[in-house]
Structure 1
Amino acid sequence: MTQISILGCGWLGLPLAKALLENDFSVKGSTTSVEKISVLENLGIQPYLIALSENETVGNLNDFLENSTILIIDIPPKLRGSATDPSTALRKTFVEKIKNLIPSIENSSIENVLFISSTSVYGDTSTALSVTEETELNPDTESGKQLVQSEQLLQSNSNFKTTILRFGGLIGEDRHPIKFLAGRKNIENPNAPINLIHQEDCIGIVIKILRTPEVSGQNDKSEWNDTFNAVAPFHPSRKEYYTQKAIDLNLDLPEFNAENSISGKTILSTKIENVLEYTFAKPHL
């Protein structure tokens, strides 16, 4: 049985861990909350209390990684602000966390790392643009900038293979942007396309990557040391989509401001569909 360590059992990491158990993986999971230890344990997840900082790691990281061959890193940067804003330019906390984590990975049994990143690494664009994994990275937020640096740190390390999975906006049964946008006025960029993905597909894509064989004499597929965009193939305009969602959920309609509206980028997940042969469970969100 393959053992996997998931660093960060939060909104996505916890249901992912549950799904992996159901797919015959053995799972170790980390949390920063003492109260959540019993939740993980009751689900059959081997729980670890681990907190990363730019200076040190609190918790038994070596035991957390021991005997696992795959590490899934699912800890968001949680940074705000412009990448060029002087007030945030020196905030290197997330990158430093990854730097401090890497020696422990190097000295462990981990062979493959799956890093959960974000399509924010591409930045916004004022013109219509179709974005693939080959599109130049141009983050315009501090979190996006640090994700790019973290991706590069992991993929450049020859001691293990790293696959980057760049998710669009995350939605689920308990999480949807319309609950924040309902009734708001002067919302920008009504004509920009949405780039969202449902939690169910996030989990499905991760499992698909884990289930795809490595390169061998009989198989020419390798999904390690690769990069994938993960966004549902459904890109109506923000105005069209959020207005309809408000109607569906009987919420106050959002009001948009068409002045200075950008056309925006459309994130393509064609590579996931073609290379992984993945079919989206929630294509229309």
Structure 2
Amino acid sequence: MRKIGIIGLGWLGLPLAEKLALEEYQVVGSTTQDSKAEELSKEAYGVVTLNLNPHPTGKGFNSLFETDTLVVAFPPKSKSQEAEFYFQQLAFLKKLIDQSKVKRVLFISSTGIYPKEARAFDYDEEDELSKSNVGNQTLLEAERIISEKRAYELTILRMGGLMGGNRILGKYFEGKENVDGSSRVNYIHQIDAVNLCQWVIEGNYWEEIFNGVAPIHPDKKSILERNAADYGFTLPKSFLQNDLSIHRIISSEKLTDFGFEFEYPDPLDFPYSL
């Protein structure tokens, strides 16, 4: 349980590696760039390079598959035409896992998998998703690939919008026009996302799907106004005049029922670093 591999030392994987290493886990993480691996070489965790092109290449990446638990934290590209390449990457990755000693896989997915339509009740992990209603076909297929015909235990974390650090909503909407400020958000702070991964691993919460979303869902305009007040961002030039009675809200009730405690349950109170 103390040997953890992390595929993707990015916005989530890197702080997760740092936190687990501080708590004396044996951690090895991967990056796609030799220069980044060199930059991180003095850290308290191992760093290897792994590129899925889609077949695996790199330096030292076999050590990822000599761990007890593997965190898969690399998302698909946003361009739809690259979906098939992502599926090939996952297929090669799954073959490596199947041939390894890895017993548990934590797969980072996204709440983008849920339908895009607003409705009168929340989306949750019990919703039946299919090609006819899914919000993101790539995510649905990715979860299928990693789930089928496996010997390892698997938990899928469907993360909401990842915020924190220098990811601040206000800076992305400065001076914009006709911003939809009425819709309510489904965000999670970086610290909670990292804590959630560790909570799954340490609590042995396997064979589950969890929505990693802060339990409070303020509207976007309120967050933009708070960011402007706290960090000096310019507000959008105009907002759409929406009076929404229903919203697209992703529930995190299952997580809290299992006992996970959010450090930052309200996106209005998210801390940032500029």
- TM-score computed with the length of structure 1 as normaliser: 0.86
Match of 2:93 in 1: 101
Q: Summarize deviations over 1:204-249 as a string: whole Å, max 9, x none.
A: 1111111114xxxxxxxxx111100011111111222222222222
* Structure 1 residues 157 and 62, CA gap change in structure 2 (3 angstroms): farther
Q: 1:183 aligns with which of 175, 178, 184?
A: 175
Distance 2:251 2:242 in 1: 27
Q: Is the 8 A contact 2:29 2:64 kept in 1?
A: no
1 CA distance for matches of 2:31 and 2:168? 24
The answer to whether the aligner puts 1:240 opposite 2:215 as a matched pair is: no
Question: What is the percentage of aligned positions where both structures have the same residue?
Answer: 31
Paired with 1:259 and 1:280, the residues of 2 have a C-alpha distance of: 30
In structure 2, C-alpha distance between the alignment counterparts of 1:21 and 1:192, rounded to whole Å: 38
Could you tell me how far apart the structure 2 residues matched to 1:174 and 1:240 are? 19
Residues 1-285 of structure 1: pairs in structure 2 closer than 5 A = 2-54=2-54, 56-60=55-59, 63-80=62-79, 88=81, 91-137=83-129, 138-140=133-135, 144-188=136-180, 190-213=181-204, 223-254=205-236, 255-258=238-241, 263-275=246-258, 277-284=259-266, 285=270
Mapped partners of 2:256, 2:33: distance in 1: 36
Question: Structure 2 unaligned runs (5+)?
Answer: none
CA distance in 2, matches of 1:185, 1:274: 40
Letter aligned with residue 210 of structure 1: I
Structure 1 residues 36 and 49: alpha-carbon distance in aligned structure 2, compared to 1, 3 A threshold? same
Please report how far the alpha carbon of residue 281 of structure 1 lies from its aligned counterpart in structure 2 after TM superposition.
0.6
Q: Secondary structure at the match of 1:266?
A: coil
Could you tell me how far apart the structure 2 residues matched to 1:159 and 1:174 are?
A: 39
In the other structure, the counterpart of 1:84 is none
Structure 1 contact 4–26 (Cα < 8 Å) conserved: yes
1:82-127 Cα deviation digits (max 9, x unpaired): xxxxxx4x84111111011111101101000000010000031143
SS at match of 2:66: coil
Once the two structures are TM-superposed, the CA of residue 39 in structure 1 deviates from its matched residue by 2.9
* Shift of residue 62, structure 1, vs aligned partner: 5.8
Provide the rounded CA distance (Å) in 2 between the counterparts of 1:234 and 1:160.
Answer: 34
Alpha-carbon spacing, 1:62–1:181, altered in 2? closer, same or farther (3 Å):
closer
Provide the secondary structure at the position in 2 that maps to 1:48: strand
**1:177 Cα shift?**
2.0
Measure the CA separation in 1 of the matches of 2:83 and 2:165: 33
In the alignment, the residues of structure 2 paired with residue 101 and residue 173 of structure 1 have an alpha-carbon distance, to the nearest angstrom, of 30
| Contact preservation (8 Å) 2:71, 2:108 | yes
Contact 2:30 2:61 in 1 (8 A): no
CA contact (8 A) 2:76 2:83 kept: no
Q: Which amino acid is the alignment partner of residue 122 of structure 1?
A: Y
**What is the deviation of 1:66?**
3.9
Whether the 8 Å CA contact 2:32–2:49 is kept in 1: the answer is: yes
Which secondary structure state, in structure 1, belongs to the residue aligned with residue 41 of structure 2? helix
Change in Cα spacing, 1:224 to 1:97, as seen in structure 2 (3 Å) is same
Kindly state the Cα deviation for residue 258 of structure 1 after the two structures are TM-superposed.
2.5
Distance (whole Å) between structure 2 residues aligned to residue 170 and residue 42 of structure 1: 27
Query: Per-residue CA shift, 1:119-138, capped at 9, x if unaligned?
Result: 00003114344111112333
Alpha-carbon spacing, 1:91–1:11, altered in 2? closer, same or farther (3 Å): closer
Q: What are structure 1's unaligned runs of at least 5 residues?
A: 82-87, 214-222
User: What root-mean-square deviation, in Å, do the aligned CA atoms of Structure 1 and Structure 2 show?
Assistant: 2.0
Q: How much has 1:60 moved relative to structure 2?
A: 4.9
Which runs of at least 4 in structure 1 moved beyond 6 Å after TM superposition?
none
- Aligned residue pairs: how many? 263
- Render the CA deviation track for 1:40-98: whole Å, top value 9, x for unaligned: 321122111111133x11125762334301110000112235xxxxxx4x841111110
